[in-house]
Chain A
Amino acid sequence: GAVVSQHPSRVICKSGTSVKIECRSLDFQATTMFWYRQFPKQSLMLMATSNEGSKATYEQGVEKDKFLINHASLTLSTLTVTSAHPEDSSFYICSATRFSGANVLTFGAGSRLTVL
Chain B
Amino acid sequence: GNSVTQMEGPVTLSEEAFLTINCTYTATGYPSLFWYVQYPGEGLQLLLKATKADDKGSNKGFEATYRKETTSFHLEKGSVQVSDSAVYFCALSGVDGNTGKLIFGQGTTLQVKP
Closest A residue to B87 by CB, please name it: A41
The answer to whether residues A34 and B100 also contact, given A43-B89, A43-B105, A103-B49 and a CB cut-off of 8 A, is: yes
Q: How many residues of chain A are within 8 Å of chain B by beta carbon?
A: 22
Please tell me if A89 contacts chain B, counting CB pairs below 8 Å.
no
Determine if B102 and A46 form an interchain contact, defined as CB atoms under 8 angstroms apart. Answer: yes
Determine if B32 and A103 form an interchain contact, defined as CB atoms under 8 angstroms apart. Answer: yes
Write out the residue numbers on chain B whose beta carbons fall within 8 Å of the beta carbon of A78: none
- In the bound assembly, the distance between CA atoms of A107 and B89 in angstroms comes to 13
Enumerate B90-114 residues with CB–CB distance to A below 8 Å: 93-94, 98-107
Determine if B102 and A102 form an interchain contact, defined as CB atoms under 8 angstroms apart. Answer: no
Enumerate A62-98 residues with CB–CB distance to B below 8 Å: 93, 95, 97
Determine if B99 and A102 form an interchain contact, defined as CB atoms under 8 angstroms apart. Answer: yes
Closest A residue to B34 by CB, please name it: A103
Closest A residue to B91 by CB, please name it: A44
Determine if B107 and A49 form an interchain contact, defined as CB atoms under 8 angstroms apart. Answer: no
Please tell me if A109 contacts chain B, counting CB pairs below 8 Å.
yes
Enumerate B47-66 residues with CB–CB distance to A below 8 Å: 49, 51
Closest B residue to A45 by CB, please name it: B104
Determine if B100 and A6 form an interchain contact, defined as CB atoms under 8 angstroms apart. Answer: no
Write out the residue numbers on chain B whose beta carbons fall within 8 Å of the beta carbon of A107: 36, 43-46
